[in-house]
Chains A and B, each alone.
Chain A
Amino acid sequence: MSKIIANNLNLWYSAFHALKSINLAFEEKRITAIIGPSGCGKSTLLRVFNRMNDLIEGVRLEGEARIDSENILGGNFDDLVRLRKKVGMVFQRPNPFPLSVYENITFGLKVHHLAKKKDFDAIVQEALESVMLWKDLKDKLRKNALGLSLEQKQRLCIARCIAVKPDILLMDEPCSALDPQATLKIEELMQKLKKDYTIVIVTHSMQQAARVSDDAGFMLLGELVEFGKTVQVFTAPKDKRTEEYITGRYG
């Protein structure tokens, strides 16, 4: 059974038809990349899976989206909180809270009452170690997170998600604010995290998709044009539009 499934999923922003009959199945503990030109709906699709689209007025959804075969659309308030605990999200611009490094990581623990105060230290260390920040920050846990470098901030945001033990990490162009070197390091981190998490990454860098992902989907104008193994999508695309995009004739 696939981890994430969508059946005939449609989404409208008021009158604008942003996602058109999407069908997909993402596998567990793999990195799935969604590529496509700006405005193709790839971020919107990503935000279906943790229902961040709920925040926007006038959004209407039809069809079906399932995680672990449980319908994630609809459901009550508790279901929504549970969903977002299970599905972490990393944003385009690193957005650590204006709190200390320590408080950034314990935020989710407090919100979900996941651990006792006395266990916080261990969890913070574990989370920072998993994103390879512990060595750099172990003496700066009480410092404000806004003082970190961009790369450190993005790692901290990943650590913040990991601390609540999600199953899935959604990454919305997580490297677009970073320089090439920091980008490579975050990509290395993703490879390491793949062992424990199902990762879905939206990117408009095709090279990045080719480097990090196992599966890839190509979106255009709200449609999922092609989906398959990354190697296949990039070397032997079945759809002409995919071929045109990856050879640089679009966007």
Chain B
Amino acid sequence: MKLRQIKEFVIEKLIFLSGIASILFVVLIFVFLLKEGIAFFREVPAKDFIGGKYWYPISDPERFGILPLILGSLLVTFGAILVSVPVSIACAFYISEVAPVKLKDILKTGIEMLAAIPSVVLGFIGMTTLVPWVKKIFHLPTGLTALSGSIMLGLMAMPTIISISEDAINAVPKSYKEGALALGATRWQAMYRVVIHAALPGIIAASMLGIGRVIGETMAVMMITGNAAVIPQTFLQPVRTLTATIAAEMGETVHGSNHYYSLFAIGIILFVLTFIINITADMFLHRNKK
């Protein structure tokens, strides 16, 4: 009896500890990021940091303006949304409503497997196939552009968006569709007038999660967007994203310098951006459950 009680106690505490640990790690990471980043804002005011147009961290005098980087990230992300969301939703509808049962299973598993391709591989594929193609079609001096990044990141976000949207569409009660068909609606009318309405919160959440992945993506964008820290005017010019900046410069900076701390500050900005996106996605998913 005694032994069993001890066993229960130990197991319970172990589960508790592992649960707490995962939360603790996240908090610690955030604290570390804040601690390193906040120091930077004593040197450079947040206004100049976020609103500054020039990123010359190692020239003299140093300039730490990340506006071009923020705009670079947003542009690439926006392009990726345009590429991925419409196609993904159409694909999710195809899988859940149109495809024959056998094909459905194959497609769903296949698409979920696509999510497992390492981003460096996608970057590599983009570099060798997509980039020369963009260069040729638009007659550009270089194919390393925001457009290439958007297309590649769009492809990366698709598996997430398709898979979760498909779940959302599948979760729509069959009775809605039956009701619509019984009123004389065609399959397409039933889909776009009723089913999509019911699945909309889930589809939006899926898109947000896909976008979250795009904003945080580093390797592929670094390889194919050209990394020029200038304020972008069009999709057809090189841009540099927040993530690529951190990844490219962290290895070369002097530990403890302003440049070093500025990269952490970029990390904070990135963290805030993804946090907002995740919270929004969560709100939609939650609304869906209610």
Contacts and interface: CB of A to CB of B under 8 A. Distances in A.
Interface of A: 50, 52, 55, 77, 81-85, 88-89, 91, 93, 95-99, 107-108, 110-112, 157, 160-161, 164
A174 B63 CA distance: 72
B175 A91 contact: yes
B184 A84 contact: yes
B183 A98 contact: no
A88 B178 contact: no
Given A95-B175, A99-B197, A111 B181 contact: no
B193 A107 contact: yes
Given A91-B175, A98-B176, A50 B194 contact: no
Given A91-B175, A93-B175, A111-B189, A99 B182 contact: no
Given A91-B175, A93-B175, A95-B173, A55 B197 contact: no
B170 to A, nearest CB: 15
Which of A98, A99, A108 gathers most chain B CB within 10 Å? A98
Contact of A97 (B179, B181, B186): B179
A164 B179 CA distance: 14
Nearest to A108: B183
A81 B189 CA distance: 12
Contacts of B193: 97, 107, 110-111
Contacts of B182: 50, 52, 84, 88-89, 91
Contacts of A95: 173, 175-176, 178-179
A97 B194 contact: yes
Contacts of B173: 95
Contacts of A107: 180, 183, 185, 193-194
Contacts of B176: 95, 97-98
Contacts of A111: 180, 183-186, 189, 193
Interface string B164-199: 000000000101101111111110010001100110
B178 A52 contact: yes
B interface residue count range (under 10 / 10 to 19 / 20 to 34 / 35 or more): 10 to 19
Contact of B198 (A55, A85, A98, A161): A98
Task: Give the secondary structure class of B's interface.
Answer: helix
Contact of A84 (B175, B181, B197): B181
Pairs of residues from A and B, 9 with the lowest C-beta to C-beta distance, nearest first: A84-B184, A95-B175, A89-B182, A85-B184, A95-B179, A98-B198, A108-B183, A111-B185, A81-B184
A91 B182 CA distance: 10
A236 to B, nearest CB: 36
Given A97-B180, A108-B183, 14 more contacts: A52-B181, A84-B183, A88-B183, A95-B176, A97-B193, A97-B194, A98-B197, A99-B194, A99-B197, A107-B183, A108-B184, A111-B180, A111-B183, A112-B184
A161 B176 CA distance: 14
Contacts of A89: 182
B49 to A, nearest CB: 45
A60 to B, nearest CB: 19
A125 B184 CA distance: 22
Contacts of B180: 97, 107, 111
A52 B283 CA distance: 37
A153 B194 CA distance: 16
A112 B179 CA distance: 15
B14 to A, nearest CB: 43
18 contacts: A52-B181, A55-B181, A77-B186, A82-B184, A83-B184, A84-B181, A84-B184, A89-B182, A91-B179, A97-B193, A107-B180, A107-B183, A107-B194, A108-B183, A111-B184, A111-B186, A111-B189, A164-B183
Given A95-B173, A107-B193, A55 B178 contact: yes
Contacts of A85: 183-184
